[in-house]
Amino acid sequence: MIPNGCQGNVQVGSRREFLKASSFGFGSLALGGLLEREGRLLAGIDRPEYPLAPREPHFPAQAKSVIFLFMQGGLSQVDSFDPKPALDRYDGQPLPASFRNDLELAQINPYESKLMASRRTFKKRGRSGIEISDLFEGLAKHADDMAVIRSCHHESFIHGPALTYVHTGSLQLGSPSMGSWILYGLGSETDNLPSYIVMTDSIFRSSTSNFGTGFLPAIYQGTLINTDGQPFQNLKPPSRMDLGRQRALLERIEGWNQTHLRTRPGDSRLEARIRNYELAFRMQMAAPELIDLSAEPEHVKRMYGLDRDPTRKFGRMCLLARRMVERGVRFVHLYSGGWDAHGECDKNHMENSWKTDQPMAALLEDLKQRGLLESTLVISTGEFGRTPVMQGKEGRDHNPFGFSAWMAGGGVRGGQAIGATDDLGFVAVQDKMHVNDLHAAMLGLMGLDHRRLTYFFQGLDRRLSGVGEAGEAGEDLYRKLTGRSIGHSS
């Protein structure tokens, strides 16, 4: 049945009236995009080039997709991936004078600060002997697949700017996120799902601009999906609507949309919205299959911890992440919240590791078993680390001067620790890697030269890795991670 105001040739008074009257949902407007990609263009409609079409990388690379495991709040490096025996010797003692200037920069009173040893136990793991604490017993089993970078740093002591820095490579709001840059450089490998998907087990400490497009076209925006209940809403197609009627409706609405777009040249938000109508139709078929975990073997669900708390929620996120990259999603961004341990750091980190360690280990294991780890780059870090001195009741404050990240898969040579902080774990001192260097290395692993992936904005060729010489140490990090120089496939 065609609603009131729509007769057989789909004649209505205006675009707005049509949308209001039809009530078919945005998914029903997407048929044109599907037909177009199959080579059957709607008659008389001049379509621009598809901005998410797959593009060749600058040079051959193993990594085709990224899963970014973000420990929001700031994981303590000295309790996880950066053992410091000196802290055991000086536990409870005042900070040595040689470190006081650094702490003054960090807004900490160096004369009242006392060192606090880690309450965790570090062990040599795997054949490589990388030391990882008992916070991550599951991940530690994959030490030979992991490269731990112990010398990360940046300049911001505050959550908001630090989050922006790690996600966009800039302290300024309005810059594109990592996922947006990668979509801009490589395009999409799926027609039926968003190419950049974001999930969180808590709240966002900063705005959702950390997975936004900034000054890049809006089509490269990340898509936030629910982790409670149904991940995607309104997936069920409208009843009593067959393919022919959907096509008739779409021919008219597509024409209106393109006319509307031509009066607003350069409005990437409008173009992105039109594109999203098309994607919504295809998702009606692809997304239900993606989120239906009933076909997953029970042992796989148990491996991710779906059978119990506290691992159930983050475990489901990690399992969905594997299914997403399996189906061509380019960038999957998972947030684990609550690592901001200003008090009782050990208790905080234990509770958070109970939620995340098993699922992250399962993700690496599952990707490896399916032959996906070679083409999937897995990265994990927080917006900064934490201080080796005590704050409040056995807590730790923010520390952007030296913290850890780890990478696995996607061409990364595992079983190595790169860089170092000082004896107390406060400042990066060896093979220092700014967040811009991490971004440059990540792009390199995706086959993108960070110096060539640019977008001209406000008089500058902008880069994820920053302007000028920013990101140059990332080329050295790339060599350490892969054994070759950026731009060389062997």
Q: In angstroms, rounded to a whole number, what is the distance separating the alpha carbons of residues 327 and 333?
A: 15
pLDDT at 30: 40
Rounding to the nearest 10 degrees, give the CA dihedral for residues 143, 363, 276, 246: 150
127, amino acid identity: R
pTM of the predicted protein model: 0.83
Q: Token pair for residue 240?
A: 């009593």
Please choose, from the candidates 408, 305, 414, the residue with its C-alpha nearest in 3D space to the C-alpha of residue 356. 305
The C-alpha R_g of the chain, in whole angstroms, comes to 24
**Beta strand residue intervals within 279-415, DSSP E:** 331-336, 376-381, 385-386, 398-399, 403-408
C-beta separation of 365 from 74 below 8 A: no
Handedness of CA 299, 304, 310, 316 (dihedral sign): negative
| Beta partners for residue 455, in sequence order | 462
C-beta separation of 399 from 385 below 8 A: yes
C-beta separation of 432 from 471 below 8 A: no
Measure Cα distances from 340 to 249, 398, 427 in Å: 51, 8, 19
> For the chain, which ranges sit under pLDDT 50?
1-48, 490
pLDDT at 42: 31
Look-up of token digits 């999409």: 188
C-beta separation of 284 from 235 below 8 A: yes
Q: What are phi and psi of 442, to 5 degrees?
A: -60, -45
* Peptide bond before residue 310 is cis, with ω within 30 degrees of 0: yes
Q: In angstroms, rounded to a whole number, what is the distance separating the alpha carbons of residues 462 and 215?
A: 10
Q: In angstroms, rounded to a whole number, what is the distance separating the alpha carbons of residues 17 and 32?
A: 20
Give the chain's domains with CATH numbers: 65-229+285-482 (3.40.720)
Q: In angstroms, rounded to a whole number, what is the distance separating the alpha carbons of residues 378 and 69?
A: 7
